Amino acid sequence: NDDKSSEQKNVAFIEWTDPLYVGGHWTPELIRMAGGVHGVNPKVGVKSFVISSDELVKNNPEICIVCPCGLNLDDTTEMVQSLEEEDWWWKLKAVKFGHVALVDGNQMFNRPGPRLVDCLEWITWYLHSNSTERNLGSNPLEHEEKFPWKQYEASSKQEVKSRIEARKTSMVSNSLSQGSQFTPEIEEAHRKAVEKGQKTYIDP
């Protein structure tokens, strides 16, 4: 028999994006049972934990499953759109080849219970399906209830740029409407952060 381990796909299960949390607890075992390996956290039973974007890029997963705890698909889509503003996101093999799935984390994976059986059935299908099957939004579950997921569709560079510009404009507008409540040093730090598109900055 061939060595099956050589066929295992490297999967990254992302439980939150800012900071970047990777799945733990039962998730690595589900991925292993489905025929993959959770390279960023392969140990069963270990809690979810924060990793750096550099660590994720270095691991370079073939498949990414984004399933933020407590968020539905619409909110998950918005969260991934924020990731598109980060240079490291586009370096991932999974993103380059379109092997990214968004899952409703309010319903699936993040709580122990019978639905983990559905999660295992779905992830097994996803790891062994082709792009055409995924893009059709197929329902791999044997029963009638549809698994709450969708295939990630990358935004164009122009769409990402437009979102960044819109957020900058909104931040400036909100700042002006609220009036000046800070020292000139803080206002200057805020202005520079807005210009650079930074989400946070350190008060002087």
Q: What is the pLDDT of residues 154-201, one digit of tens each?
A: 988 899 888 888 877 777 666 656 655 556 666 677 667 766 766 665
Q: Which of 41, 7, 9 is nearest to 26 (CA)?
A: 41
Higher local confidence (pLDDT), 127 or 139: 127
Q: Locate 52 and state its tokens.
A: 């750096």
Does residue 106 surpass a pLDDT of 70? yes
**Which of 19-28, 41-50, 193-202 is the most confident on average?**
19-28
The whole-number average pLDDT for the span 96-101 is 94
Q: Which helix (H) or strand (E) holds 67?
A: none
- Backbone angles phi and psi of 10, in degrees to 5: -80, 115
pTM of the predicted model, to two decimals?
0.76
Contact by Cβ (8 Å): 109, 27: yes
The pLDDT of residue 140 is 63
The pLDDT of residue 111 is 87
The pLDDT of residue 66 is 97
The pLDDT of residue 124 is 93
The pLDDT of residue 44 is 83
Q: Locate 125 and state its tokens.
A: 């299908």
Of the ranges 9-18, 125-134, 141-150, 154-163, which one carries the lowest mean pLDDT score? 141-150
The pLDDT of residue 42 is 86
Contact by Cβ (8 Å): 39, 11: yes
158-164: list long-range contacts, CB under 8 Å, 24+ apart.
160/81, 160/84, 160/85, 163/81, 163/85, 164/85, 164/197
184-196 and 157-178 are packed helices; what angle lies between their axes, rounded to 10 degrees? 160
Of the ranges 83-92, 103-112, 147-156, 179-188, which one carries the lowest mean pLDDT score? 179-188
The whole-number average pLDDT for the span 123-139 is 77
Burial group, residue 69, by CB count within 10 angstroms (0-12, 13-18, 19+): middle
Rounded CA-CA distance 88/185 in Å is: 31
Say which DSSP state 152 is in. Answer: -
How far lies 139's CA from each of 13, 114, 118, 145, in Å? Answer: 20, 18, 11, 9
Q: Which of 17, 182, 94 is nearest to 191 (CA)?
A: 182
The pLDDT of residue 193 is 72
Quick: pLDDT tens for 49-65. 999 999 999 999 999 99
Rounded CA-CA distance 152/65 in Å is: 10
Say which DSSP state 91 is in. Answer: G
Does residue 28 surpass a pLDDT of 70? yes
The pLDDT of residue 164 is 84
Percent of the chain with pLDDT over 70: 77
